[in-house]
Amino acid sequence: MTGGRLGGVDAEREAQLLFRVIDTISAGLDLGRMLQGVATLVTETTVTDVCFVHLLDEKGRVLRLHGATPPFDGLVGKIELAVGEGVSGWVAEHGEPVVITDDKTADPRYRYIPALRGEEFTSMLSVPIVTPLGHLVGVLNVHTRARREFTGADVELLRSVAGLVAGAIENARLHRRLAEREEALESFAERIVQWQERESRRLAGEIHDGISQRIVSLFFHLSAAADAITADPAVAAEQVARAQELAAAALDETRSAIAGLRPPVLDDLGLAASLESLGHSFPGLDVRIEADDLAMAGHVETAVYRTAQEALQNAAKHAAAESVLIRLSRHAGRAVLEVSDDGTGFDPGAVQHQAGATMPPTGLGLAGMRERAELLGGTLELTSAPGRGTTVRLAVPFTPRRSPGPGPALPGTPGWPARRQR
């Protein structure tokens, strides 16, 4: 160790700097305050004038200023550099430190950013912030007003600081991601409960208003038939015929109430053939299906089927489309459904805006499709523009069906007559 360290920092001060950095990063501060603290420590201990900490964004394309010593602390969050841009961008791209002793502007890597007042500083040292596993998370820079030679040992010291900070940054990010996931799970759980309540209300409504009314009338017609059976067989026969009609209607309504939970056609035909059959139920549309036979868990198949159904209904209702292509395949652990129409298209942004303001949370239409996708941990993308048709793309985690063969029978529906294709 020689006197050539940052401003003559000796081994003891060096160790002290590292200890204080460790103290700062383990103080449980949020990421911003921790980086601010580290930047201040670095300038104080290394006798440099300013320190900047730029962090790489999650996509690894942009460096954003996350920590800076006064008077630049007000710029935190406001300075961005693309990877490859300026000295910091170069350091991020190459993963190597850069020392510039003077005349920065002559260095082709240097980019002047007025807010950072580069003209007031002469020498600089920039090091990559890299985790022990070699994962780049940002760039740490120090600048001095007076001209200064940064030695190899100076570079190493700053790299050690950067290494300590890197682990802390990664931990903070992991922690934030975990907290976000926890929040998302909570809101999923809440929405599942709301969804279930809505479904129960819908079923109760359908049973109360439709099915039980029919059964009451059925009862009266059968009583009338029983009363008339000896005195007036013709009236009795008529009442029985009415009762038969009512029984058929009640059966139909029961089926459609249950179809709201899981379309029976899925159990009868499987998903790919159900999509075919769905396509045929829109006589005005030329529907082409390219569906792989994916044997998935019942709830995933229901979501895919319902999404295709709503997208087709929208194509028929709103798009004045002539043809629709439905594709279902498996990609990278996801089941992907695409429904593309050649209709008028629309501006999804405008609809979403309206929808948020006016649509009740009934789970219908686009909002319902999105909700289903989110409940399954998937995504729903809408690509549409006026005059250019619409594509609805649902991607959900592929969940295989547990046992081979058709999906499980619906509870309470054993021995029901097989549903016919309509």
Ligand X SMILES: Nc1ncnc2c1ncn2[C@@H]1O[C@H](COP(=O)(O)OP(=O)(O)OP(=O)(O)O)[C@@H](O)[C@H]1O
Site for ligand X, rule CB under 6 A = 314-315, 317-319, 341, 343-346, 351, 364-367, 390
> From the CB of 311, what's the least distance to Mg ion, in Å?
8
> From the CB of 367, what's the least distance to ligand X, in Å?
6
Tally helices (H) and strands (E) across the chain.
11, 11
> From the CB of 264, what's the least distance to ligand X, in Å?
22
Residue 69 interacts with Mg ion (CB under 5 A): yes or no:
no
398 in Cβ contact with 337 (< 8 Å): no
> From the CB of 309, what's the least distance to ligand X, in Å?
10
| C-alpha dist (Å) from residue 336 to 265, 299, 310, 331, 409 | 20, 15, 16, 7, 25
The residue nearest Mg ion at its CB is: 365
170 vs 26: CA distance, rounded Å = 13
> From the CB of 382, what's the least distance to Mg ion, in Å?
12
Comparing CB distances to ligand X, the nearer of 118 and 345 is 345
Cβ-Cβ contacts under 8 Å for 41 (sequence gap 6 or more): 17, 20, 21, 24
In this structure, the number of other CB atoms found within 10 A of the CB of residue 247 comes to: 15
Q: Which of 123, 141, 307, 314 binds Mg ion (CB under 5 A)?
A: 314
The residue nearest ligand X at its CB is: 365
Comparing CB distances to ligand X, the nearer of 71 and 356 is 356
Among Mg ion, ligand X, none, partner that 191 touches (CB below 5 to 8 angstroms by kind): none
> From the CB of 64, what's the least distance to ligand X, in Å?
36
What DSSP state is assigned to residue 211?
I
E strands, 259-413, in order: 286-291, 323-331, 334-341, 379-384, 390-397
Comparing CB distances to ligand X, the nearer of 72 and 346 is 346
Residue with tokens 């998937």: 378
Residue with tokens 């309540």: 197
Comparing CB distances to Mg ion, the nearer of 126 and 314 is 314
In the window 362-421, what residues touch Mg ion (CB under 5 A)?
Answer: 365
Comparing CB distances to ligand X, the nearer of 356 and 417 is 356
34 vs 171: CA distance, rounded Å = 12
User: Which pair of tokens denotes residue 280?
Assistant: 């045929």
Comparing CB distances to ligand X, the nearer of 269 and 319 is 319
Which residues are at the interface with Mg ion (CB under 5 A)? Answer: 314, 365
